[in-house]
Structure 1
Amino acid sequence: MTYEGPKALFTAWVSLVSNLLLTLIKIIFGMIFHSTALVADGVHNGGDVIASIATIGSMKLSNHPADREHPYGHGKAEDISTAFISIILILAASFLTYEAIKALFGPASSVSVWAFGAALISAVWKWLLYSYTKRAADRYHSKSLHATAADHLADIYASIAAALGLGISWMGSIFQLPYTHYGDPVAGIVVSILILRIGVIMMIKSTNVLMESSVNPVDQEKYSEVFLSFPEVKKIDILRAREHGNVVLIDAQIRIPASFTIQKGDDLTEAIRAKIIQQYPDVGEVLIHINPWYSDREIIEPDSVPHLENK
């Protein structure tokens, strides 16, 4: 596991301060120059401030070591934070859609080049922030930072759409072009759909982790290959892998020759565990149960999800 708490936490603080500054800039400029798109985008950024605070809190909590009440640690705090951020995105998309539709049927308003410039600067700022956060998320294997990076990406879409719409409206007002005042609200509707899509995908992913769903089949197959790379492993009865915060937990049942001593079986499982963790640093624990293998007997397949006995 390569998750580095303090360094990842610093990245989250950078996102929080940036979101706070951008929120103030967008709302102030939007109100001064009467830009619906810029004010709506500023309110969206206000939601990002709340999401950034939740991210920092979840990262601090997830770094706490395991205790009596939480023997597997506090890693799922980041998944809860990811779900919270997805809710913020969905609500922001809904608000942006409402504002865009209202502006679409409302009276045309004049657009200032300063509002256009503020939206353009915001897009560039968010692109730099997205690149920085995405690199940190990949390096430190932080789900909260991945969620924050996705949020920054949604902000880029929103800022580009706002800049595009404001630019079209501004040019239209200069050259007296018809219907150009619709550029701002139409762009807002399009970007709202994109933001909503990102929020829904994040919600599904975080919910799957909280519901103890398996990792994707490709990763599961990679883990199986490590087990079968040991010739002593005759068969894999069960292999289950699930995400727990920033780590993957694996439990397996394997068949090894019945003639093996307990010591030899234990040495084998330790060797398998070490190889998996070495090859896949995001794996936090590997629990292995060994079953006897006989060359002259039929193997009875165990149930991978045992049914509860009726009492």
Structure 2
Amino acid sequence: MADKHTSGLTAIWISLISNVFLTVMKVTAGLLLSSPVLLADGVHNAGDIIATVAALTSSMVSKKPADDDHPYGHGKAEVVASAFVAIVLVIAALWIGYQSIGALFEPPEAENWLALGAAAVSLVWKQWLYVYTLRVGKATNSKSVLATAYDHLADVYASLAAVIGIGIGLLGDQFDWHWAAYGDPVAGIIVSLLVLKLAVEIGRDSVDILMERNVATEKLAQYEALLMAVEHVKRIDRVRAREHGHYVTVDVRVGVPGAYTIQQGHDIGRMIKQRIMDADPDVVEVMVHLNPWYEGEK
């Protein structure tokens, strides 16, 4: 668990440093080259810095052990950060859409090859960051790292729009295509819708976890199969599990022979807990409730 947490923190630190560098590069290039799309992309990246700091802070809080005030641990701090990233993405989507729609009603700016180069560098860098953080996020089951990965994906969309828009503008200047001057804002509008869709998906997942949604049906079926494989379990009364950021807690109610002693019931409970935790490394706690079962009951 400690190694996973270190990997997640490293991924977020790399993302934070990258976002700071790309923000400075895009804003500076946008101002010097009079490129509205690059400037808007840089402002978007500035919002990413805030989101990444939130992810970093939540990841550090989530590793704190359980205490009297938080007996289930601090894992949901990552979920709160994920919801915050969703809000940042909504704001970014509205900003990109607003800027793009406004550009349709203004005289088009002349495009520049240096602006295209800056957008291309951002595109390649963000694509690598997305793949890297997504892989780490899935390996560590970290909601804050996964939210950072999808934030990078939104930046990939924005940078791709900048590359396409600036590229079409440059081709329009070369071949005297007057309509090509509006390729940039049209691409920006499409990107704003994609980023908004991504934000809704991240936000919905965060809300589901905060509202104690059950884990996936496939996971519950796995736990039930493990319970039925325990020799002394005669009946499954209830199985439920919930996510707490990067870990899972499981509650089970099973029927065992009513004539068993307390010691036998205790041993069965320990066996159930160990089997589930061995089968699923994301599970850190299993609460077992034993109900009496008697021969001949339905």
The total of aligned residue pairs comes to 298
Give the secondary-structure state (helix, strand or coil) at the position aligned to 1:127: helix
- d(CA) in 2 for partners of 1:118 and 1:51? 23
Q: Do the aligned partners of residues 224 and 289 (structure 1) sit closer, same or farther apart at CA in structure 2, a change above 3 Å counting?
A: same
- d(CA) in 1 for partners of 2:3 and 2:135? 13
Q: CA deviation at 1:256?
A: 1.1
- d(CA) in 1 for partners of 2:112 and 2:163? 11
Equivalent in the alignment of 1:197: 197
Q: CA deviation at 1:144?
A: 0.5
1:57 aligns with 2:57: yes
Give the secondary-structure state (helix, strand or coil) at the position aligned to 2:227: helix
Name the stretch that deviates more: 205-214 or 258-267: 258-267
Q: CA deviation at 1:178?
A: 2.6
Equivalent in the alignment of 1:294: 294
Aligned residues of 1:3 and 1:246 also touching (Cα < 8 A): no
Q: Which runs of 5+ in 1 are unaligned?
A: 299-311
1:210 aligns with 2:196: no
Q: CA deviation at 1:6?
A: 2.9
Q: CA deviation at 1:5?
A: 2.5
Equivalent in the alignment of 1:257: 257
1:137 aligns with 2:137: yes
Q: TM-score, normalised by structure 1?
A: 0.93
Give the secondary-structure state (helix, strand or coil) at the position aligned to 1:46: helix
Q: CA deviation at 1:297?
A: 3.2
- d(CA) in 1 for partners of 2:110 and 2:174? 10
Equivalent in the alignment of 1:4: 4
State the AA in 2 paired with 1:214: N
Q: TM-score, normalised by structure 2?
A: 0.97
Equivalent in the alignment of 1:219: 219
Q: CA deviation at 1:138?
A: 2.1
Give the secondary-structure state (helix, strand or coil) at the position aligned to 1:179: helix
Give the secondary-structure state (helix, strand or coil) at the position aligned to 1:231: coil
Q: CA deviation at 1:140?
A: 2.1
Q: CA RMSD in A?
A: 1.3
- d(CA) in 2 for partners of 1:38 and 1:230? 61
- What CA deviation, in whole Å up to 9, does each residue of 1:208-246 have, x standing for no partner? 111111112121111111111123211111111111121
Q: CA deviation at 1:2?
A: 6.6
1:29 aligns with 2:39: no
How do residues 76-155 of structure 1 correspond to structure 2 at under 5 angstroms? 76-155=76-155
Equivalent in the alignment of 2:248: 248
- d(CA) in 1 for partners of 2:234 and 2:37? 63
Aligned residues of 1:214 and 1:241 also touching (Cα < 8 A): yes
State the AA in 1 paired with 2:230: F
- d(CA) in 1 for partners of 2:168 and 2:90? 27
Equivalent in the alignment of 1:302: none
- d(CA) in 2 for partners of 1:155 and 1:186? 17
Q: CA deviation at 1:259?
A: 2.2
Q: Do the aligned partners of residues 226 and 3 (structure 1) sit closer, same or farther apart at CA in structure 2, a change above 3 Å counting?
A: farther
Aligned residues of 1:248 and 1:282 also touching (Cα < 8 A): yes
Q: Which runs of 5+ in 2 are unaligned?
A: none
Q: CA deviation at 1:76?
A: 0.6
- d(CA) in 2 for partners of 1:158 and 1:134? 18
Q: CA deviation at 1:271?
A: 1.2
- d(CA) in 2 for partners of 1:136 and 1:72? 24
Aligned residues of 1:3 and 1:141 also touching (Cα < 8 A): no
Equivalent in the alignment of 2:174: 174
Aligned residues of 1:2 and 1:282 also touching (Cα < 8 A): no
- d(CA) in 1 for partners of 2:31 and 2:2? 45
- d(CA) in 2 for partners of 1:149 and 1:71? 29
Q: CA deviation at 1:120?
A: 0.8
Q: CA deviation at 1:278?
A: 0.9
- d(CA) in 1 for partners of 2:69 and 2:123? 44
Aligned residues of 1:79 and 1:210 also touching (Cα < 8 A): yes
State, as a whole percentage, how many aligned pairs show the same letter: 45
Give the secondary-structure state (helix, strand or coil) at the position aligned to 1:118: helix
- d(CA) in 2 for partners of 1:247 and 1:7? 15
- d(CA) in 2 for partners of 1:225 and 1:82? 32
Give the secondary-structure state (helix, strand or coil) at the position aligned to 1:4: helix
